[in-house]
């Protein structure tokens, strides 16, 4: 691993290795073993074109626990937000710091930052992909179910960056995935095709449809995300109407297996994509999932920056 730009860049073994490492870091941290020697003296620059609660706090706390330091860089703080080229930003930051985490709009910007810089780059989210989130999701699923291969994950809702990355993450780890989205809100074709190609070697089943009931039937894991991602507020009313039958409520959730778990990358909007009785119910692991962002990102940073 030189960077974490997209899960498709990682092998199945690398993904499982990161989850194993995160499990180890989590267990040891909870048992009083400190890891502040791993990245002692290292500095992570965190570029935010999109705001976030979990991404900022988990990376900043993670660097602290590993002995390093994190710099928060918003669009208002650096020249990248005022017209400096990615080429110049990448080369300049490479002279100052040891790694970059960027949360932004364009996947191309993240890839250019990695291409022109000489330090590791971590994709904290783009409109196209959310690899750190899905690594934490897979960690949470394995924590709960004891395995990944052969499980069925149902994703209900918008075919967005999380859904794109889930397709790749599930395919690479042998998880069967059924994605149900309204017509016109499909996952990006290149991610569907990439997942199908990977699945031909790992044995995963990739199912894409517009039928939430068929997708969720007999699922071990049920996953949804907000219907209105950042930057889509102008389409709010149309999206609420288009996604109305894709709400994960108790009736739809009952079609999954009796021991199915519920995941959501957060922030969640109760009464829209999910009802309170599901997200706040006993089978919801959304806060374990949020916590695991910290541990999986520590594993990523330690692997890339040590």
Model confidence pLDDT, tens digit, residues 55-82: 999 999 999 999 999 999 988 788 775 7
pLDDT value, residue 164: 98
Domain-by-domain residue ranges, the chain? Answer: 7-130+293-305, 133-289
- The CA radius of gyration of the chain, in Å to the nearest whole number, is 19
User: Percent of the chain beyond pLDDT 90?
Assistant: 93
pLDDT tens digits, one per residue of 255-266: 999 999 999 999
pLDDT tens digits, one per residue of 15-44: 999 999 999 999 999 999 999 999 999 999
Name the helix (H) or strand (E) containing 208: strand 206-209
Mean pLDDT score, 213-242:
93
CA atoms within 13 A on the CB side of 127: 10
Report d(CA 177, CA 244) in Å as an integer: 22
State the catalytic residues: 103, 130, 133, 225, 265, 293
Bridge partners (DSSP) of residue 103 are 48, 125
Residue with tokens 């149900």: 180
Distance of CA 19 to the CA centre of its chain: 13
pLDDT value, residue 102: 97
pLDDT tens digits, one per residue of 159-206: 999 999 999 999 999 999 999 999 999 999 999 999 999 999 999 999
Find out whether 83 and 59 touch, Cβ atoms under 8 Å.
Answer: no
- Residue 262, token pair as written in the block: 């519920």
> In residues, how long is the chain?
306
Report d(CA 34, CA 147) in Å as an integer: 28
* Topology (CATH) of 7-130+293-305: Rossmann fold (3.40.50)
Does domain 133-289 correspond to CATH entry 3.40.50.1370?
A: yes
pLDDT tens digits, one per residue of 78-135: 877 577 899 999 999 999 999 999 999 999 999 999 999 999 999 999 999 999 999 9
Vertex 134 angle, CA 131 and 135, to 5°:
85
pLDDT value, residue 299: 98
pLDDT tops 70 at residue 1: yes
Report d(CA 216, CA 156) in Å as an integer: 8
Report d(CA 306, CA 265) in Å as an integer: 28
> Do the domains spanning 7-130+293-305 and 133-289 agree at the CATH topology level?
yes
- Whole-model pTM over 0.75: yes
pLDDT value, residue 272: 97
pLDDT tops 80 at residue 232: no
């Amino acid at each position: 691993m030189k960077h974490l730009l997209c899960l498709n860049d990682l092998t199945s073994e690398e993904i499982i290795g990161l989850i194993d490492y995160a499990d180890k870091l989590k267990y040891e941290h909870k048992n009083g073993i400190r890891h502040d020697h791993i990245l002692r003296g290292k500095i992570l620059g965190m570029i935010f074109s999109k705001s976030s609660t979990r991404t900022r706090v988990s990376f900043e706390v993670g660097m602290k626990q590993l002995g390093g330091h994190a710099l928060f860089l918003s669009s208002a703080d650096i020249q990248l937000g005022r017209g400096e080229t990615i080429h110049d930003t990448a080369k300049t930051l490479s002279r100052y710091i040891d790694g970059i985490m960027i949360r932004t709009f364009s996947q191309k910007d993240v890839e250019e930052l990695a291409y022109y810089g000489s330090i590791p780059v971590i994709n904290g989210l783009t409109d196209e992909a959310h690899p750190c989130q899905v690594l934490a999701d897979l960690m949470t699923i394995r924590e709960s179910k004891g395995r990944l291969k052969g499980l069925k994950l149902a994703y209900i809702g918008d075919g967005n960056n999380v859904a794109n990355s889930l397709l790749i993450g599930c395919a690479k780890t042998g998880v069967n995935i059924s994605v149900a989205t309204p017509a016109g809100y499909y996952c990006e074709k290149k991610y569907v095709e990439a997942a199908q190609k990977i699945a031909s070697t790992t044995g995963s089943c990739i199912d894409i449809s517009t039928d939430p009931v068929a997708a969720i039937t007999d699922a071990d894991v049920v996953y949804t995300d907000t219907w209105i991602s950042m930057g889509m507020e102008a389409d709010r009313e149309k999206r609420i109407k288009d996604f109305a039958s894709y709400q994960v409520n108790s009736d739809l959730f009952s079609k999954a297996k009796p021991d199915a778990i519920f995941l959501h990358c957060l922030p969640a909007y109760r009464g829209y994509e999910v009802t309170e009785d599901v997200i706040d119910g006993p089978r919801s692991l959304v806060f374990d999932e949020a916590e695991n962002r910290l541990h999986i990102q520590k594993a990523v940073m330690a692997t890339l920056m040590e």
